Structure formats: C-alpha cells, structure tokens
Amino acid sequence: MKKQSIVADARRAPQADRAGRPPGPLEGAAFRFGAAQASQLPAAAAREVAFAGRSNAGKSSAINALARQTRLAYASRTPGRTQQINFFELRNGAVVTDLPGYGYAAVPRALKEGWQDFLWQYVTSRTTLIGLVVVVDARHRLKPLDFELLGGFVPSGRPVLILATKADKLNQAERSAAVTGIRAQLREAFPGHASDMTVISFSAVSRQGVDEADGTLARWFDK
C-alpha cells in the first residue's frame, strides 16, 4: 500500500470564529494513512470514531463540512471504488476513520463482499472505536445494508449518530418527516437502544446540522 501525504487545507490550529464558537472537534484534522486490509490496520491506541454510509450518501462531503475543509476526504469519481479505511488525526490526538462506501451495484460482487467483510470486521471488533456515524441520504432513509452495519454495532451500547444528509434538497416539512421516519426505523429495529442513537438533519451545502453534529461528537470525545 502506498502511503499518501497529509491532505489538509488548514495547517494551523483552528481559532474560535468571530461569534466566539470554539473549533469543532474535526477542525484541524489531517489525513495520516489508509488501510486496505485488516493486516494494515494500526494498533488500537487512540480513541476512534468511524464514518460509514452507502456510496453516494454524501459521507466525504459531511466529513469535509465538519472539518471546515474542502479536500480532506475525497469522494471517488466512481461510487463504490474507495477500497480502504482512511485515518484522520484530530487536534486532541483522537482519530476519525472514513470507511469504504457500501451498496453500489456496479461493483463486482466478489470485490464488494470483500470490502464489506473488511468494514464489518473493523466495526465489530475494533476495541478503540467509541462511536459510529452513519451517513444516510435523507430522501431514501435507512436501507438494508445500513441495518446490517448497525446490527453489528448497536448491541454494544456505544453511541450512534445518523446524519440525514442532502437536507438542502428537501423542504422543511420533508426534512422533519425524514428525521422522524429514520427515528421510527431505528426504534423498530433496535428497541431499547433509542438513547444511544441521535438523528440529525444535515447538509454540507447549507451547513444545516453542522454545529449540532459538532456538539454530539465533542461529547463522545470528552467522555
């Protein structure tokens, strides 16, 4: 595996903005390396939060919006072709990981299954993984593969954040209905775990939900 250079727009530590808002937990994040198979994963050390989602759900855009950068996480020109887990180091030494997208039909089945096995192994067995962010297109809500991924994580009692992305493409009533619908899906699939799961209407374009997601992630890292 070829090591990549650090990709970050902001090299200096972020400062509070003019409104006095402290930097978000992902601000100042820097790319460190990618792991394409289990043997390349680093030793579990720093606390990690993983971002997962179906291909084309807007995962890279969400990470970039939370990091206040434009080129930290890259979306492949061909959805479903990202084959590695990318590790980003935060200012406090914690780590955010960007997991391979899943569910893109044009990827050969054997290759798709290999990526999904790698993702499943990471999500279910990584000892330093403290929380999972699942990026979902608000217009389509949770799909079977989202539930499969959540099924391997939710029973552990660790927190989950669902970002209902592309909210800018919906009107206010539709955004509210999407969040309500996703919450209902989660309650039905994972009864007893409602307190572990947060759903936020999110848009990387309009910045809706960015500050709210910051607050959720900051609480995870501060525990």
What mean pLDDT is predicted for residues 117-130?
A: 91
pLDDT value, residue 77: 53
Q: Above 90 in pLDDT, residue 141?
A: yes
State which residues form the domain around 165.
30-222
According to the model, what pLDDT value does residue 45 have? 84
CATH number, domain containing residue 204: 3.40.50.300
In a domain, 6, yes or no: no
Where residue 17 falls among pLDDT bands split at 50, 70, 90?
A: low
CA distance 111 to 210: 33
Tell me, yes or no, whether 7 lies in a domain.
Answer: no
- Please state, in angstroms and rounded to a whole number, the distance separating the CA atoms of residues 21 and 17: 5
CA 12 vs. chain centroid, Å, equals: 24
Listing DSSP states for 99-151 in one string gives: PPPB--TTS-HHHHHHHHHHHHHHHHH-TTEEEEEEEEETTT---HHHHHHHH
Q: Is residue 17 assigned to a domain?
A: no
What average pLDDT is seen over the chain?
Answer: 86
Q: Is residue 3 part of a domain?
A: no
For the stretch 25-79, pLDDT in tens is: 999 999 999 998 889 999 988 899 999 999 889 999 999 999 999 889 876 554 4
Supply the pLDDT for residue 142.
Answer: 97
The encoded tokens of residue 217 equal 């992630």
**Within a domain: residue 15?**
no
Tens digit of each residue's pLDDT (9 = 90 or more) over 190-217: 999 989 999 999 999 999 999 999 999 9
Query: How many Å apart are CA 18 and CA 78, to the nearest integer?
Result: 39
Residue 144 inside a domain? The answer is yes
Q: What is the pLDDT of residue 79?
A: 47
Is residue 91 a part of any domain in this protein? Answer: yes
* pTM score: 0.87
Count the domains in the chain: 1
Question: Given a cut of 60, is residue 7 above it in pLDDT?
Answer: no
Assess if residue 12 is contained within a domain: no
What is the structure's pLDDT at 8? 38
